[in-house]
């Protein structure tokens, strides 16, 4: 066994070797450890600039970013919000927190993202918004989604939790809709430990979200509350890490691009291996390099076991929301077929920038072994 084989290769791990420690030490030394302090403003400015957005707001995590997006856009009980069946539960939970009713729609088998052709049937007179999710970093069909939203007068909220740095039609994901959100959880493309952010097009919506983030307190009249708000603030400590991550985001994205291309070059000719497809207007930032297995004598779960035995981590796709009893009331029955197929056959490969070329070589050799020599 060589050196690579003896050591566990995780699917994701944070890369914190820039100014993270320096900035966080500075926050501690100066006493600015709560949600006031310069790093919050600087982190928001960096997000705004990188995404070419008009307004950016940092919050405590990606789930509250989604909730804040919904409530600051005025979505509430009685409204319906359309979302894809294949996503992390936070997307649908945030809709439920707002009081609105989620309506689950099937996804596309190539991109894994919400299928615009399936949306029309899900629109009712109560529909207020569509929440596309850019799964694993892969851009949704934004042109189609924007045209549906325009035609039916609907709001668009991009759940870009997994997609910072991805591009569609020359613009960064999260900046193409009314509000876009990010997550900076420890395994995401950039991290603040726990954290999230929102991008806005409309100044009033941004200002409303900013007030709601801070208990609904009137910004010019202390302890006077205009709304029932929330405490969704990010700390200066988290923002210190976030700012350092933003300084390195281009390097992080470049390396992730290299990793994705490496896997694709090595493995896409294997019979029954289908990588997630990026549409022509898009560029995937590859939070997780993902593929499905379509071969009668091979399976995703068996492959994951095989990789684990070889010290290589991987992960299954999300369960379709429609399969979980808690969300079953929100499905248009019998129409959620592609999400089930993807969920059963999908696997994501190690995709973090700590992977050296020798790790990529090793992982690919193990995948080839599984598919060809079993």
Ligand X SMILES: *Cc1c(COP(=O)(O)O)cnc(C)c1O
Are 320 and 332 a contacting pair, CB within 8 Å? no
* H/E element, 159: strand 155-159
**Residue 239 CB, nearest approach to ligand X (Å):** 15
**Residue 185 CB, nearest approach to ligand X (Å):** 4
**Residue 87 CB, nearest approach to ligand X (Å):** 5
- Applying CB under 6 A, does 79 fall inside the site for ligand X? no
Residue closer to ligand X by CB (options 129, 367) is 129
> From the list 32, 39, 168, 185, which residue makes contact with ligand X (rule: CB under 6 A)?
185
What is the DSSP track for 61-130? -HHHHHHHHHHHTT--TT-EEEEESSS-HHHHHHHHHTT-EEEEE-B-TTT-SB-HHHHGGG--TTEEEE
Residue closer to ligand X by CB (options 20, 371) is 20
- Residue span binding ligand X (CB under 6 A) among the ranges 15-23, 61-69, 107-115, 295-303: 61-69
- Applying CB under 6 A, does 61 fall inside the site for ligand X? yes
Are 250 and 50 a contacting pair, CB within 8 Å? no
- Residue span binding ligand X (CB under 6 A) among the ranges 59-67, 219-227, 234-242, 248-256: 59-67
**Residue 232 CB, nearest approach to ligand X (Å):** 11
Please name the residue that has the structure tokens 């927190």.
97
- Applying CB under 6 A, does 327 fall inside the site for ligand X? no
Task: Select the residue whose beta carbon is closest to ligand X and give its number.
Answer: 62
Cα separation, 310 vs 101, whole angstroms: 44
- Applying CB under 6 A, does 112 fall inside the site for ligand X? no
- Applying CB under 6 A, does 196 fall inside the site for ligand X? yes
Q: Nearest to residue 163, comparing CAs of 274, 300, 62?
A: 62
- Applying CB under 6 A, does 9 fall inside the site for ligand X? no
- Applying CB under 6 A, does 63 fall inside the site for ligand X? yes
Residue closer to ligand X by CB (options 88, 371) is 88
Query: Residue 104: CB partners within 8 Å, gap ≥ 6?
Result: 82, 83, 84, 85, 92, 321, 322, 327, 330, 331, 332, 336
**How many amino acids of this chain bind ligand X (CB under 6 A)?**
14
Please name the residue that has the structure tokens 């420890």.
186
Question: Where in 115-174 is the site for ligand X (CB under 6 A)?
Answer: 133, 159, 161-162
363: left (phi over 0), alpha (psi -120 to 50) or beta: alpha
* H/E element, 46: helix 38-51
Q: How far is CA 164 from CA 76, 104, 168, 180, 371, in A?
A: 27, 24, 12, 10, 33
Residue closer to ligand X by CB (options 4, 162) is 162
- Residue span binding ligand X (CB under 6 A) among the ranges 86-94, 100-108, 206-214, 250-258: 86-94
**Residue 246 CB, nearest approach to ligand X (Å):** 17
- Applying CB under 6 A, does 62 fall inside the site for ligand X? yes
Cα separation, 335 vs 311, whole angstroms: 38
* Binding residues vs ligand X (CB under 6 A): 61-63, 87-88, 90-91, 133, 159, 161-162, 183, 185, 196
């Amino acid at each position: 066994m060589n050196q690579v084989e003896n050591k566990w290769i995780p699917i994701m791990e944070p890369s914190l070797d820039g100014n993270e420690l320096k900035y966080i030490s500075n926050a501690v030394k100066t006493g600015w450890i709560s949600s006031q302090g310069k790093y919050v403003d600087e982190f928001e400015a960096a997000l705004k600039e990188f995404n070419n957005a008009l307004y950016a707001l940092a919050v405590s995590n990606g789930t509250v970013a989604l909730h804040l997006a919904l409530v600051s856009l005025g979505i509430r009980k009685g409204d319906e919000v359309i979302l894809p069946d294949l996503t992390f539960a936070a997307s649908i939970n945030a809709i439920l927190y707002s009081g609105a009713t989620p309506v689950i729609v099937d996804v596309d088998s190539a991109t894994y993202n919400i299928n615009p052709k399936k949306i029309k049937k899900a629109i009712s007179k109560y529909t207020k918004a569509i929440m596309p999710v850019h799964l694993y970093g892969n851009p949704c069909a934004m042109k189609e989604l924007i045209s549906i939203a325009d035609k039916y007068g609907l709001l668009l909220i991009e759940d870009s939790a997994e997609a910072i740095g991805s591009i569609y039609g020359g613009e960064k994901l999260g900046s193409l809709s009314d509000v876009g959100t990010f997550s900076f959880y420890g395994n995401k493309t950039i991290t603040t430990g726990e954290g999230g952010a929102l991008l806005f097009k409309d100044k009033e919506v941004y200002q409303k979200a900013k007030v709601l983030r801070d208990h609904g307190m009137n910004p010019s009249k202390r302890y006077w509350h205009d709304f029932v708000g929330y405490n969704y603030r990010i700390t200066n400590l988290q923002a210190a890490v976030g700012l350092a991550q933003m300084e390195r985001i281009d390097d992080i994205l470049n390396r992730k691009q290299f990793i994705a291309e490496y896997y694709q070059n090595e493995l896409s000719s294997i019979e029954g291996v289908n990588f997630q497809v990026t549409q022509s207007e898009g560029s995937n930032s590859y939070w997780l390099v993902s593929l499905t297995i379509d071969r009668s004598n091979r399976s995703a779960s068996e492959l994951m076991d095989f990789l684990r035995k070889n010290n290589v981590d991987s992960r299954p796709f999300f369960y379709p929301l429609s399969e979980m009893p808690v969300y079953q009331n929100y499905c248009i029955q019998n129409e959620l077929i592609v999400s089930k197929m993807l969920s059963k056959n999908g696997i994501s490969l190690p995709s973090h920038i700590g992977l050296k070329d020798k790790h990529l070589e090793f992982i690919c050799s193990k995948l080839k072994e599984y598919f060809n020599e079993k």
